[in-house]
Each structure stands twice: as C-alpha cells, then as structure tokens.
Structure 1
Amino acid sequence: MLVRDLHNLRELYLDGVNISANGSEWCSSLPLAVPKLQVLSLSYTQLSGPICKSLQQLQLLSTLHLNGNNFSSEMPKKLMLLPGLQSLDVSVNRLLSGTLPEFPKTSVQEFLSLYFTSFYGQLPDSIGNLKLLKELELRDCNFSGLIPYSLANLSQITHIGLSSNHFQGWLPFFATPEEKHQN
C-alpha cells in the first residue's frame, strides 16, 4: 500500500522515489486512502505493469504525472477523460499504448504529454475540443493518418510536438488572434 488514511491530502509528490511496485499493488487502495487527491505525481519511480484502473475513482484529479516509469499495456481511456484533469503526463513509458479518446467539449486539459510511448492510431477530430490546451507532446509514438484540421481550434497552444510518428498530409493553418478577428 502506497499511502493510507490521509483523507484530506490534496497533493502527493513522490517523484524519483524508488517505489518499484508491479501491477496494481501500489494503487488499489489509493482512492479510499486519499479520496480528495487533486495532484498525483509519481514520475521516475520505477513503477511497472498496467496503470491501475482504480485511479479512475479519483474524480478530483487535476494533475496526473506518471512519466518515466515502466508501465505497459493499454492506458485506461476513462482516466484520460476525468472531468477536471488539466495535466496528464505518461511520457517515457515505452510499453504503454492506447488510442486517444473522443475528447468532450467541456474538457479543461491544458497539458497532454504522451511522447516516447506506444500510443497509436489516428488523432481524433475531437482533439480540437481541448480549447485550453497549451502543450501537446506526441512525438516518438506510433500515431498515423491525417493530422486533423481541428488542431487549428487550439487557440491557447504554445507547443506542439508531432515528430517521429507516421502522419500524412499537411498541418492545419493556425491563425493569429488578429487574423481570426479579420474574418
């Protein structure tokens, strides 16, 4: 068990701590122990196996950073769609795979980093619903197909990383705020 009976804990940072647990043993009781958790950062902790589906029960999560571990199997889509999730980083987990979900128009996500994973498939057109997104880092994955024109809807975007995938076609036109007002 990673933590227990910390019902008022809002933020948990264990970056760089060698937890080295496998499977769901590290997080199965987490939702009961820390039900009000908003930030969970377990970067470079030597965790492995599948990402525990019980994390989906942490409905108040705004930040989830699990980068730099050894996770494998499919990323739970429900976890990527938590209603208040603003920052998701599962990068540098080479054996972690999955496809992107259909993003709702109500998404509040500002940061999405999946680089150096095995995510695959096409980018959904609904990626344009991430209106608050500032950073999108998808390089060194297995994405393919056309880059959706809806990326141009990301008016807050400051960084997009799409290199080393299997995309085809053209990048959409990103209009400046001044150009948008002229139309």
Structure 2
Amino acid sequence: MTSLRRLDASMNELTGTIPDELCELPLESLNLYENKLRGELPDGIAKSPKYELRLFQNQLSGELPPNLGKSSPLRWVDVSTNKFTGQIPESLCSNGALEELLLIENSFSGEIPASLAECRSLLRVSVPEEIGFLDSLLEISVDDKYVSGSLPSSIVNLGQLVKLDLHDNELSGKIPSGIHLGRS
C-alpha cells in the first residue's frame, strides 16, 4: 500500500486512534469522517502531501498540529464536531490553496489566525456557535463568499457589536431573533 493516494473509510463504525503509519503514505486525500475515532492526531499528519483532510464527526481530541498545511497543499479541511482544543494553526493557509475550512463544534481557543486573510482561494468557512462567547467583540467583517451555512444563534450574545458585515456570502436560514448592535 505504499503507493496509496486516496483513503476513504468514512461513515463506518471505526474506533481507536489514527495510526502513525497512515502518515507515512503519500496520501492526497484522507477521509475518515463519521466514525468513532478518538485520541490525538498523529504528528506526521501534517507532513504527508494531502490536499483533502476530512475528519469530521469523530471523537478526536488534542490540538491540531501547529505545522498543519505548512508542507502540504491543503485545499479542504473539515475537523468539525470533534473535541479539538488549543489554537487554530497559523500554517493552515501557508500554501494559499485552502478552499474550505470547517472547524465548528470543537473547543478551540485564542485568536483566528491572521494568515487566513492570505487564503485567496478560500470559498467556505464555518462560523462556530462559540462566537457568542466573545462578548467584547466590536466588529465582524467576513464578506465575499467566505462564509456558508446559517448564522449561529449565539450571535445575539454579542452585546458590544457595532458592525456586522456579512455581505456577498452563501448564508441561509433565518436571522437569529434578538440581534443587538451596540452604539458606535
């Protein structure tokens, strides 16, 4: 299997951790979503030449490798609905090819990396429900097709918000009732 390029074992009942040996393969695509995988990601996952990394809806935990995206031309990353913590890696858009970044339903902390502004190919980003915990946030500007899905209902908790600019995106659903914009 040393020449394996694509691995899709999604939507199964796989358990355990992601083996280190997977990271030694020249995978371009790793799809293990909707399983019951747990534990931390192997360190080597950031080194293999992947274009696509879809690990959503598992029970994975720990931090994303700080060099994820640095040595591989990542285009799609979906690690939503896991138990990841720590900061979102600065290196995710090192190659400028990132088109999709979905991180919702985790416990990330810290700032959104400024390097995401360099992702000129980015087409889809998720806005996590946890945005409502940033109660001192004054401004949100995410425009030009970077956001899809619905607005999180927790956005109504942003009592200090003065500016909310979400024009030209692919938002759907209802506007959360109770949105309050602070005074400028």
TM-score range, shorter chain: 0.7 to 0.9
3-state SS of 1:55 partner? helix
Other-structure match for 1:133: 122
Stretch deviating more after TM superposition (76-85 or 46-55):
76-85
CA distance in 2, matches of 1:73, 1:147: 30
Deviation at residue 28 of structure 1 after TM alignment: 0.9
1:52 matches 2:28 = no
Q: Which amino acid aligns with 1:137?
A: S
Deviates more, 1:42-51 or 1:101-110: 101-110
Alpha-carbon displacement from aligned partner over 1:99-118 (angstroms, at most 9, x marks no partner):
22335564210000011111
Q: Distance in 2 between matches of 1:42 and 1:117?
A: 17
* Structure 2, gaps ≥5 residues long: 170-184
1:157 & 1:121 partners in 2: Cα distance? Answer: 20
Alignment-mate amino acid for residue 73 of structure 1: G
2:19 equivalent among 17, 27, 42: 27
Inter-partner Cα distance in structure 2 for 1:77 and 1:70: 20
1:72/1:97 contact within 8 Å kept: yes
Question: Do structure 1's residue 63 and structure 2's residue 52 form an aligned pair?
Answer: yes
What percentage of aligned pairs have identical amino acids? Answer: 24
Deviation sequence 1:83-114 (CA, Å, 0-9, x none): 30000000011x21122233556421000001
For 2:88, the aligned partner's letter is: L
The alignment covers a number of residue pairs equal to: 161
Give the letter aligned to residue 171 of structure 1: L
Judged with a 3 Å threshold, the aligned counterparts in structure 2 of structure 1 residues 48 and 106 are, in CA distance, closer, same or farther, namely closer
Q: 1:42: which partner in 2?
A: 32
- Correspondence list, 1:153-168, <5 A: 155-157=144-146, 159=148, 163=152, 164=154
TM-score (norm 1): 0.73
CA distance in 1, matches of 2:138, 2:84: 23
The one-letter amino acid of 1:29's match is E
Match of 1:171 in 2: 164
Residues 139 and 161, structure 1, Cα contact 8 Å, conserved in 2? no
**2:113 maps to amino acid:** P
1:28-56 deviation per Cα after TM superposition (whole angstroms, max 9, x unaligned): 11133x2x210000001211011221212
- Segment drifting more, 130-139 vs 80-89: 80-89
Task: Tell me how far apart the structure 2 counterparts of residues 88 and 147 of structure 1 sit (CA, whole Å).
Answer: 26
Q: Which residue pairs with 1:11 in the alignment?
A: 6
d(CA) in 1 for partners of 2:57, 2:89: 22
Stretch deviating more after TM superposition (60-69 or 116-125)? 116-125
The TM-score, its normalising length taken from structure 2, stands at 0.73
Over the residues paired in the alignment, what is the CA RMSD in angstroms?
A: 2.8
CA separation of 1:134 and 1:161: change in aligned 2, threshold 3 A: farther
